[in-house]
Amino acid sequence: MKRVISFLLIFFSLLPALRGREGISPFKAFFYSLALPGLGQYMDGKQLKGEAFLLTEAAGIGLMLYFSYRSELAVDRYISYADTHFYYEGDDPERKSYTEMWEYLRERVYAKANLPYKKEGEYYELIGKLSELNQFWDESWQQGYYYDMRQDANSLYKTKNAFVAVIIANHVISAIDAFIGASHANFGLSGGVNENGGYEVGVEVKL
């Protein structure tokens, strides 16, 4: 995240050198803004619009990284909680572990899910959902608490993905806008009287 912030600060400091190059090719403007939203607009002389796209990009990346970080912390938190309070295996003579009961459980819950033996696949999801596995929690209420922890982690993950979608949309919209803006700037009409006394109209487009 620090590298991204440093890059954006350096880039913003270089923007004045790119300002005001009106008449840029529409295709160049498109690809500049597709690579970095706002760059095509900025090089086409549209400073405010370019800065708006750039700020949207910076905000989107920052929020995406923030929610990505929080999502990873939430996943680590619920995994740690499950490993601490869910009796996966052990030698307590007064208590059956998940691995000891796995064969029996697999037959009972097979219609609901393919119950994993190891801590992989859907293991961390199913131990919070299946009522048959409530017996392996230290306290019965912990399964519901754990389920809520996973829901919070999933919500943070979805929020991160939403900002990824915003970033992608910002690239596409900025590129299309830059192309249209540059096309208008590079599209011109000319006219005049020809040698036969008629009037000629010309169209000039810079690609």
Low-confidence ranges of the chain (pLDDT < 50): 14, 17-18, 111, 188-193, 201-205, 207
Q: Look-up: residue for tokens 């890059």?
A: 7
Amino acid symbol at 198: G
Q: What pLDDT score was predicted for residue 202?
A: 45
**Residue 41 to residues 6, 28, 44, 174, 196: CA-CA distances in angstroms?**
22, 10, 5, 8, 43
Q: What pLDDT score was predicted for residue 91?
A: 84
What's the rounded Cα separation, in Å, for the pair 178 and 28?
A: 9
What's the rounded Cα separation, in Å, for the pair 13 and 5?
A: 12
What's the rounded Cα separation, in Å, for the pair 184 and 52?
A: 20
Q: What pLDDT score was predicted for residue 5?
A: 55
Q: What pLDDT score was predicted for residue 203?
A: 42
Q: How much is the pTM?
A: 0.75
